[in-house]
Amino acid sequence: MEILKKGKSFTPVVITPPARLELPDFRELWEYKGLLFFLVRRDIMLRFQQTVAGFLWIIFQPLIQMLIFYVLFGLLVQIPTNGVPYTLFFLSAFVVWQFFTQVVNNSAMSLVGNIGIIIKSYFPRLALPLSTVASAFVDFGVSFVVLMVFLLVNGGYPITFRYLLLPILLILTAIFSSGVGLLFGAMMVVFRDMKNLLNFIVMIWMYVTPIMYPVSIAPEKYRILFYINPMTSLVDAYRWVFLGDAGGLPRINYLLISLVVAVIIWLSGAIAFRAMENKIADVM
C-alpha cells in the first residue's frame, strides 16, 4: 500500500479481545472506500447485466404494485386521498418504501450471506451493509424518474422549492433503513429463524405505514399511533414534497423526532453489528 511505498511510519495494529461495546472504526472504513466502490459495482453489474430485463425490472416493479393497489384502493375501495389521483398518491410513497425494504433486506443478509469472504479475509465488515445502501440509491434513482414522469404528465404537480428538502429526507431515510438493516443483520447471526421472520416483519411494516392509505382515514385520536413508526413522518414529508399541500401537512416536529430515532437506531445497529462481526467467524 501507499504506506509501504513511501516508507512512512505505519500505525501499529493492536488486536485485543472484543470489548462489550464497540463502535465501528470510521477512519479505517474510509481507507477501504475502494472496496465499497467495487461491492456496489458488483451488485449493480450482477443485477443489470445478467438478467435480460435487469433494468426494466426496476421500472416495472413499482408500476405493477401501483396497478394492483390502484385497482384495489383507487377503483374498488376508493380511499379518500384528498383529491390526489390514487396512482400518484401511492407511487410517491412506494418508491421510498422500496428503498427502505431493499436496504433492510440486503443489509440484514450482509453478514450471513458473505460468510465465505468473512472467514477468509479481513476488511471492515460494515462495508458490506453500507454498500447495499449505495446500490439502493441507484435503484431509487430509476424509480424516482418513473415517479417524475407520472407527476409531470399529470401536470398538476410542478417541481417546487420543496424539492430542496429531498436530499435531507433521503439521508434521513438512508440512516434509518441502514440502522434497521444492521440490527436485523446482527440478529441473523444468532437467531436462525430471523431470515423467515424478516419477510413478515417487513410486510406488516408496510401495512402499518401509510403507503396505500393516508393517516387521515384513521380516527383523530388514534393517528398519533402511526407516528411511533418513523417511516410515517418520512412518507408524509415525501408526499408534501411531491404532491404539495394535498399530500398532507408537513410535520417538522415529527420529522425531527424521526431524525433522533434514525440516529439512535443506526448507532445501536452499528454496535450490535460490530458485536456480531466479532463473533461470526467463531460461530459459523
What residues line the site for another protein (CB under 8 A)? 1-5, 10, 12-18, 32, 34-35, 37-39, 41-42, 45-46, 49-50, 117-123, 189-193, 278, 281-284
Taking the CA atoms of residue 167, residue 169, residue 171 and residue 177 in that order, the dihedral angle to the nearest 10 degrees is -150
Q: What is the CA radius of gyration of the chain?
A: 21
Question: Which residue lies nearer to another protein by CB, 163 or 191?
Answer: 191
Q: Which residue has the cell 470489548?
A: 19
Largest CA distance in the chain: 72
The angle subtended at Cα 135 by Cα 257 and Cα 107, nearest 5°, is: 60
Question: Which residue lies nearer to another protein by CB, 1 or 75?
Answer: 1
Least Å from the CB of residue 157 to another protein: 40
Angle at which helix 166-190 crosses helix 194-208, to 10 degrees, equals 150
Question: Which residue lies nearer to another protein by CB, 9 or 78?
Answer: 9
Least Å from the CB of residue 8 to another protein: 11
Instruction: Return the closest-CA partner of residue 235 out of 260, 207, 263.
Output: 207
Least Å from the CB of residue 18 to another protein: 5
Least Å from the CB of residue 114 to another protein: 8
Question: Which residue lies nearer to another protein by CB, 26 or 192?
Answer: 192
| Residue-level length of the chain | 284
End-to-end CA distance of the chain: 31
Distance CA 100, CA 208 (A): 14
Least Å from the CB of residue 53 to another protein: 16
Question: Which residue lies nearer to another protein by CB, 49 or 78?
Answer: 49
